[in-house]
Structure 1
Amino acid sequence: MEDQHENSSKTAIETDYSAHQDNPGPSKEAVEEKDDRSVGNTIKWVIVIAVITLVIAYFIFM
């Protein structure tokens, strides 16, 4: 990504929004937000189990 790209992840945390309205950085809260809902890992395992179950069912009923 380029430094000048709008909404670039390389943009520093915003401290003076009025001075950078054309390309503001993320707020401090957005960067430091705690991930307390680890749904990603749960969905990953549910999909793996579902695929394995479907493969087994396919071979049984084939």
Structure 2
Amino acid sequence: MENSTPNHTEDPNKPVPPIETDYEKHKENPGPAPTVNEPDNEGAGQAMKWIIPIIVVVLLVVYFLFFRNNVSN
């Protein structure tokens, strides 16, 4: 992170510009871009439900087979 003073300040009492729909018309003072709502019909959560437990089991097996008896006293 840079240690510089910000050059951009906004007045909190100033009204927010409307969401931009015609960029060419408001090139000099554009408003915020509209949000994109994408459906989450093939999310990574479905795969993670199976991948994470399998990885944990494999790592536990590796630990108990190779590293459990290597503890130094």
Greater RCO, 1 or 2 (C-alpha within 8 Å, sep 6+): 1
Which is helix-richer, 1 or 2?
Answer: 1
Return the index of the structure with the highest Cα Rg.
2
Pick the TM interval, shorter chain: 0.3 to 0.5
Provide the TM-score with structure 2 as the length reference: 0.40
